Amino acid sequence: MTSAVPWPQFQELKYFFTKTEPPFDRFSGDVDKFCAVWDTLEHAGCFEVADEALIQLQNRYTKIDSHGTQHVRFPVSISERTQQFPP
């Protein structure tokens, strides 16, 4: 979780969520730290359930590659604002 986007832009946050020293890889993240922050944000009401129509739209354009990674690729006809979370 610390070697992927958007971590290059959020260095302090990346270091906060790690359990190992650099160089970081996909196993460097500390899920317990992440879950504690997530739970705090959720308890504070920072998240809400997405509209079902948006979930269906995303599912329609989601593909899973041979490694099990999900990729969402919207057609150009779908506005950038619709693609953004939160809108």
Q: How many CB atoms lie within 10 A of CB 27?
A: 10
Q: Is 2 within the bounds of a domain?
A: no
Taking the C-alpha atoms of residue 7 and residue 12, their distance in angstroms, rounded to an integer, is 9
Q: What share of the chain is helix, strand, coil (3-state, %, to 5)?
A: 40, 10, 50
Q: What angle do CA 38, 21, 36 make, to 5 degrees?
A: 15
> What pLDDT digit, counting tens, does each position of 36-77 carry?
999 999 999 999 888 898 889 899 999 999 988 999 888 888
Mean pLDDT of 25-39: 91
1 falls within a domain: no
Do the beta carbons of residue 57 and residue 51 sit within 8 Å?
Answer: no
Residue with tokens 């993240």, as numbered in its chain? 29
pLDDT at 86: 53
Same domain, 38 and 14: yes
Domain containing residue 17? 7-43
Dist. CA 52–CA 35, nearest whole Å: 25
Is this model's pTM higher than 0.85 or not? no
In a domain, 15, yes or no: yes
Residue with token string 């979930």: 55
Higher pLDDT, 10 or 62: 62
Supply the pLDDT for residue 33.
Answer: 93
pLDDT score of 32: 94
